[in-house]
Structure 1
Amino acid sequence: MIQHGPGTYADPSLPAESWGGRKAQQYVELTLLTYGDICINCGLPGSNSADHVIPRSKGGAVYDIDNLGPSHRRCNYSRQDKPLRPVGIPVESGLAFFKT
């Protein structure tokens, strides 16, 4: 089972926060310690960043462990602000075509 928080929205009455710097590094470490290193985007081990379950651009909380999950940097950047998709759905490689 892929581990991540349920997702939380930012409090609109508070000033907007940006993601970066030492605080972001600490939250990446906390996310990996809390949820492990299985990527919430591809389902493979070796995550090295934290991805926001509810994207920041959609109102997701920036520094809330419940809105973070482990992710590879490449998976995190490629997802951008799209919603999380279910992980573990088999993808056909097409190699079966060549085995006939």
Structure 2
Amino acid sequence: MYAIVKIGGHQYKVAENDTVFVNRIAEGEEKITLEDVLLVKDAKGKVKIGKPMVEGAKVEATVVDHLKTDKVIVFKKKRRKGYRVKNGHRQPITQLKIDKIS
């Protein structure tokens, strides 16, 4: 059984007991319910496609941790001008564990 879920403008394929890394969501919550479910495939192989969302479908998840991704180096240079700038960026993300699809 799996579902396609929309979280923060991105679509993720999730199944029960999966771990998913998504863009940072609100801190302070341990359990969240995702109701933007686009598609659900049950254990029997039956597929429900939403228009745009599947009615009554929801995914329950637990927030495991708030992390940062690997550093991305941003280096700017203009030749013969002595201009060099080096910056780094780490995107904040949230680790979710999918508990239940219903």
Tell me which protein shows more helix as a share of its residues.
Answer: 1
The two structures have a TM-score, normalised by structure 2, of 0.22
Tell me which protein shows more strand as a share of its residues.
Answer: 2
The two structures have a TM-score, normalised by structure 1, of 0.23
Structure with the greater alpha carbon radius of gyration: 2
